[in-house]
Amino acid sequence: MIFIGYRLVAELQQQPSAKYPEEVSLEFRVPKSDWVEKILPQLKYKEVSLLELPKIEKSEFGDIVARINDAWKQYSMGEYAKVLVECRKAMEALTTTVKNRGFQKEITDEKGNKRSVPDWEKALGDKEIGSIVEVFVQKLFGFLAPGSHQGRSINRENAEFAIMNTHALVNYVIKKLDLEIAHY
């Protein structure tokens, strides 16, 4: 629901006329769907759609959820570069959480260096989906990295891409982790 308030100015019709600004709070509820579909178009604001995203409310994933919420807050304030920063922090927290839950594997890079990475196949309980998520996570990290936008400003479209993909991935992985943990 949306709450709306108004500021009124009263003017006495006398000589000399006098104006008395007065704050009056008239609160009423407007359903979100009416706000998006009826009121905003009449105000010539912009064309928008109401999109419902699942709220991520898992307390054991508090740091990740807080980063996603901070990213949405930065998005609403038009701080698009900060959206990417918060999304990157959420992704870092997600990969750390997956590894800390025992879903990790060791890989060797082309220089022979070994490092621990999330084992998405094991975490998600599916070889094919795990492989897809592994590539997706790598590509999303590449998009969220500051160097990928070097010399370019980060615009609304970048922020939308970052936050919607990060939100969806985090939501998916958290739900799958809960299911996998339940099976053990």
Bigger pLDDT: 115 vs 38 = 115
| Average of per-residue pLDDT values in the chain | 82
Residue 56 has a pLDDT of 78
Query: Residue 126: which of 107, 103, 93, 142 has the closest Cα?
Result: 103
Q: Indicate whether 176 pLDDT > 70.
A: yes
Share of the chain above pLDDT 90, in %: 48
Domains of the chain, first to last: 2-42 (no CATH), 59-183 (1.20.120)
What's the pTM value of the predicted model, to 2 decimals? 0.72
**What pLDDT, in 10s, does the model give residues 69-124?**
999 999 989 999 999 999 999 999 999 999 999 999 998 888 899 999 999 999 99
Tell me if residue 107 falls in helix, strand or coil. Answer: strand
Q: Is 151 left (phi over 0), alpha (psi -120 to 50) or beta?
A: left
Residue 41 has a pLDDT of 76
